[in-house]
Amino acid sequence: MSRVRKASQGDVAELVRLRALLFEDLGGEFFAPAEGDDDWRRELAAVLKEQMASDAVRILVVDGDGGGLAACGIGTVEQRLPGPHLRNGLIGHVIGVVTDPAFRRRGHSRAIMHGLLDWFRERGVARADLYASEEGEPLYRALGFTPHPDPALYWRP
């Protein structure tokens, strides 16, 4: 059984490593950094350290064998404007659930998701959103996630 815990400052290097694995798995031009550009890793480490102290962020991990992390997942809660589709304006986001390839198919992502969903319930979120990889989509659907009605677009300056 996966033992999920909150991440600590000592986990930052491993969290950065796992997030890099996620981007490698997703592939494509959108997720690929420019050749030799590792600045994003330093920025990520700084932001993770800062956000670990935030009440609006929950970072959960599962320890692997030998001192590294087997898996991680991040949840955030954002206050938006309330509306008929978002009664209190609180929206949860699941960001970057990833398991090291050596530890996959052991229930780590499911355990992390249960922890994040419990945290969202405690926080009173009206909805939780996520972007699913092809591999992860069956898990998320099994947990009750359904297709989002809004089309997604993005802009980069």
Domain ranges of the chain: 4-142
Instruction: Note whether 124 and 90 are within 8 A (CB).
Output: yes
Q: Which residue has the higher pLDDT, 22 or 109?
A: 109
pLDDT value at 30 more than 60: no
Is pLDDT larger for residue 12 or for residue 151? 12
Residue 134 confidence (pLDDT): 85
pLDDT at residue 69 greater than cutoff 90: yes
d(CA 112, CA 99): 10
Q: Which residue type, as a one-letter code, is found at position 5?
A: R
CA distance linking residue 106 with residue 109, whole number of Å? 8
Over pLDDT 70: what percentage of the chain?
Answer: 91
CA distance 92 to 6: 17
| pLDDT classification of 34: cutoffs 50, 70, 90 | low
Which tokens sit at 118?
Answer: 């419990």
Fold of 4-142: Aminopeptidase (3.40.630)
Question: What average pLDDT does the chain have?
Answer: 89
For 111, half-sphere exposure in the C-beta direction (CA atoms, 13 angstrom radius) is 19
Q: Is the pLDDT of residue 33 over 90?
A: no
Better pLDDT: 28 or 142: 142
